Homo-oligomer: A and B are copies of this chain.
Amino acid sequence: MTTIHGKNFLAGTLHVTQRTFSVVSPLDGAELPGRFSLVGMAEVDRALEAAAEAAGPFGRSSGAKRAELLEAIAEEILNLGDTLLERAGLESALPAARLTGERGRTVGQLKLFADMAREGSWVDARIDRAQPQRQPLPRSDLRRMKLPLGPVVVFGSSNFPLAFSVAGGDTASALCTGNPVIVKAHRAHPGTSELVAGAITRAVARCGLPAGVFSMVHGEGSVIGLALVKHPATRAVGFTGSRAAGRALLDAAASRPHPIPVFAEMSSLNPVFLLPGALAARAEEIADGLKGSMTLGVGQFCTKPGLVFAVEGSDFGRFRQQLAGGIAAAPAASMLHADIRKNFEQHRDALLAVPGCDVLARATAVADAGKTQAAPLCAVTDAATFLRAEQCMEEVFGPCSLLVKAADLAELRVLARRLDGQLTATVHGTPEDLAAAGDLLEILAATAGRVIVNGFPTGVEVCHAMQHGGPSPATSDSRFTRVGSAALERFVRPVCYQDVPDSLLPPALKDANPLGIRRLVEGVETRA
C-alpha cells in the first residue's frame, strides 16, 4: 500500500509545514496513517501565483491536449487501484461497492469532459462577418468564443470523496476549459485527497503542462478557505457544503475589490409530492422507494428527499405504515465523519422539538457513536405547522425525512409555493392526478432545478440534459449546473474579436474552421 506522506501539492512540488493534523476513521474512531501539513498564507500565495502563471499557456492549450490531460488523470486514478478505494473506505465509511461505483463515475466524468474538450464546440463560436457596404454604417467582422476565466478554487466535498472532490466534476470542468485548479482538500478525507492529487500531478507532468495547472492544499476552511477565495489571482470558486460555510465564501467573494463568481451548492430538501391516485395505486411501493432514497448513503446526498407532502387519508395512512415499518427495520450506519453526525443529530432534534412535529418511526437499531453511526428516522406534521415553523425548511443532512399532511390538493399547491429554492422536486401521480393538480408542476419548476415524475431524486445522471443547481439556497446561482456537460459554463467567459486578421484568430474562430466545430455563422448553426 502506498504510504501517505501528508504533504501539500504546490504546483508539482510536495510541501511540508510545521503544523499538522491527522484523521480518524468514522468506522471505529482509530487514527489513520498520515500526518497532514496545514498550509499558511505563504503556500496559498505560492499555489495561486503558479496558477496565475500557468493560466496563459494552459488557457491557450489545444482541446486535444486538455483531453489528453483529463484522460491521463482518469488513468492515473485507476492505476491507484485498491489503495485508493481502501483509504477512501477508511476515511469515509462508504462501502466498497459504492466507492467502486463512485470511482467509475469520477473516471466517466473525466472522460465526458475529455470528449467535450476534444470535440471543441463548447466554446460556442459565433461569427458575424463584416458588411463593409452596410448603410448607414459598415459592420465590422465580429467573432466570439468562450475563454477560460483563470485559476479556479475547488472545495472538495465530503459526501463524494472521489466524484466531487479533488478530481471531481468541478476540477474536470475547470480543466476541460483551460483553467488551472487549486483544490482545498476536505479535512475528512485528506489521504484520499492526497492519492488523487498525486494522480493529477503525475498526469500534468506526463502531458508536459505547466505544474501550476494544479495544486492541492490542506488547511482550515475558516482561514485558508477564505484566503483562497479572497486571493487576487483567484477567478472563480466551486464549493459544496453547508449553507453557513457556503454563505461565508459567497460573502468573501462578493466583498473582494473585484468580486468573482462562486458556484456554491448548499442546501436542499428535495420535496416529494404524493398525489391521491398514485397513493391509492402504489402506497406501499412508493413508501419502499422513498425509504430507499432517503437512507441511501446514510441520507448523505444533496438530493435526499427530506420532505414528503400528501393529502391526508387512508392511502397516505397505508403509505406511512409501510414507511414506518421500513424505517424501523433499517440498520444504523456510519456517517462520513463525526461533525456530520453531530450536525445530523442537532438538526434532527431541532426538527423534533417543533411543537406539532412528531416521530413517525425510528430505526430500532442503536446508533453506535463509536462507529459514527446514525439511525434513520421519519417525522410527521401537518400543513399548519409546516407553514408556521421555519425549522421545517432546514435541511437535515442524514437519514431523516419529514412528512406533511395536507387537507387537499389546493393546500398542496400552497405548500409548494412556500418552498425555498431546491435542487429537485418530485411528484408521484397518475395521469389523472397530474391533470387534477393544476399548475403544481409549474410551481415546482419555478422552485427547483430538476422536476421528477414518479421517481426519486437521488441518482444524478452525468449527461447533457442534467441540471444540478437551483434557486437559493439550493445553490448560489441557479443559472448554472454542477453536474453534466453544461457544468463547464461556470468557468468560461466570452470574448469578441473585432476585425482580427484570420492568422491571429484562435483556431475556433478562423474562417476555415480547422477544428470542425459547430459554430453560429450569421445566426445559423453550421460546421462548415
Given known contacts A150-B446, A463-B128, A525-B518, A498 and B453 CB-to-CB distance under 8 angstroms: yes
Q: Which of A431, A478, A503 has the most CB of B within 10 A?
A: A478
Write out the residue numbers on chain B whose beta carbons fall within 8 Å of the beta carbon of A431.
501, 503
Q: For the complex, what is the distance from the CA of A95 to the CA of B481, rounded to whole Å?
A: 46
Write out the residue numbers on chain B whose beta carbons fall within 8 Å of the beta carbon of A490.
479
- On whether the beta carbons of A127 and B60 are closer than 8 Å, the reply is no
Q: Is there a chain B Cβ closer than 8 Å to A149's Cβ?
A: yes
Q: Is there a chain B Cβ closer than 8 Å to A473's Cβ?
A: yes
Q: For the complex, what is the distance from the CA of A147 to the CA of B449, rounded to whole Å?
A: 10
Given known contacts A446-B56, A486-B494, A494-B467, A452 and B127 CB-to-CB distance under 8 angstroms: no
Q: Which of A140, A147, A434, A472 has the most CB of B within 10 A?
A: A140
* Set B452, B465, B473: member contacting A128, Cβ < 8 A: B465
Write out the residue numbers on chain B whose beta carbons fall within 8 Å of the beta carbon of A260.
472
Stretch at the interface among A197-205, A293-301, A369-377, A454-462: A454-462
Q: For the complex, what is the distance from the CA of A490 to the CA of B489, rounded to whole Å?
A: 13
* Closest beta carbon of chain B to A190's beta carbon, Å: 30
- On whether the beta carbons of A434 and B504 are closer than 8 Å, the reply is yes
- On whether the beta carbons of A497 and B142 are closer than 8 Å, the reply is no
* Set B142, B258, B454: member contacting A465, Cβ < 8 A: B142
Q: Is there a chain B Cβ closer than 8 Å to A251's Cβ?
A: yes
Q: What residue of chain B has the Cβ atom nearest to residue A439's Cβ? A: B56
* Closest beta carbon of chain B to A390's beta carbon, Å: 11
* Set B254, B453, B494: member contacting A499, Cβ < 8 A: B453
Q: For the complex, what is the distance from the CA of A243 to the CA of B466, rounded to whole Å?
A: 37
Q: Is there a chain B Cβ closer than 8 Å to A110's Cβ?
A: no
Q: For the complex, what is the distance from the CA of A139 to the CA of B108, rounded to whole Å?
A: 15
Q: For the complex, what is the distance from the CA of A461 to the CA of B522, rounded to whole Å?
A: 13
Q: Is there a chain B Cβ closer than 8 Å to A261's Cβ?
A: yes
Write out the residue numbers on chain B whose beta carbons fall within 8 Å of the beta carbon of A500.
441, 451-453
Q: Which of A127, A465, A493, A503 has the most CB of B within 10 A?
A: A465
Write out the residue numbers on chain B whose beta carbons fall within 8 Å of the beta carbon of A60.
442
* Set B56, B137, B478: member contacting A493, Cβ < 8 A: B478
Contact with B along A234-264 (1 / 0, CB 8 A): 0000000000000000110011001111000
Q: For the complex, what is the distance from the CA of A443 to the CA of B466, rounded to whole Å?
A: 35
Q: What residue of chain B has the Cβ atom nearest to residue A150's Cβ? A: B446
* Closest beta carbon of chain B to A284's beta carbon, Å: 20
Given known contacts A142-B463, A525-B525, A451 and B498 CB-to-CB distance under 8 angstroms: yes
Given known contacts A250-B259, A251-B254, A464-B128, A449 and B504 CB-to-CB distance under 8 angstroms: no
> Sorted from nearest, which 6 A-B pairs have the closest CB atoms?
A254-B254, A258-B472, A467-B496, A126-B465, A142-B465, A478-B493
Q: What residues of chain A have their CB less than 8 Å away from a CB belonging to chain B? A: 55-56, 59-60, 101, 126-128, 136-137, 139-140, 142-144, 147, 149-150, 250-251, 254-255, 258-261, 420-421, 431, 434, 439, 441-443, 445-446, 448-455, 459, 461, 463-467, 469, 471-473, 476-479, 481, 485-486, 489-490, 492-501, 503-504, 518, 520, 522-523, 525
A-B CB contact pairs (8 Å), 9 listed = A126-B464, A128-B461, A140-B455, A144-B467, A144-B486, A147-B446, A251-B255, A451-B500, A467-B495
